[in-house]
Amino acid sequence: MTDDVKTAMAQELLAWMKNAGEFVGDQAPALAQELVAYGMAAAIGGVILGFALCGLGYVSAKVAKFEGNEGEVGEFFGWLGSGCGWVFGLIMVTGQSAALMKVYLAPKIYVLETLADLVK
């Protein structure tokens, strides 16, 4: 290859890289908005699922009490399911609420942390 061809190829490559950089720069705000929207949707879904677990614990306690099988294995497992539903539900609601607050109150930090996790 001659020097003219190499120079032309290098200039074409630089122009392509410049256009690619502009494309990424143009798409960055949309990407950040979509990432924040996804984070909020995921956190809201987690909060709803946590409340559903709490509701399952409540229903389990009502069933155990309604059956009236005092001293039997069914009542024990009903109350055990109730306790587990409440505990895991509250843990999930607490954790997902914290994630929702982070996305809502500090979206830039959320985007940077998410992108840093993707780069790792």
Contacts for 67 with CB less than 8 Å, ≥ 6 apart:
74, 75, 78
Q: Evaluate if residue 41 carries a pLDDT over 60.
A: yes
pLDDT digits (tens, 9 = 90+) for 69-98: 555 666 777 777 788 888 888 999 999 999
- Residues 118 and 42 sit within 8 Å (Cβ to Cβ): no
pLDDT at 31: 78
- What does the pLDDT look like over 1-27, one tens digit per residue? 677 777 777 777 677 666 655 655 566
pLDDT at 48: 93
Collapsed DSSP state (helix, strand, coil) of residue 59: helix
This prediction's pTM: 0.65
Name the pLDDT band for 44 (thresholds 50, 70, 90): very high
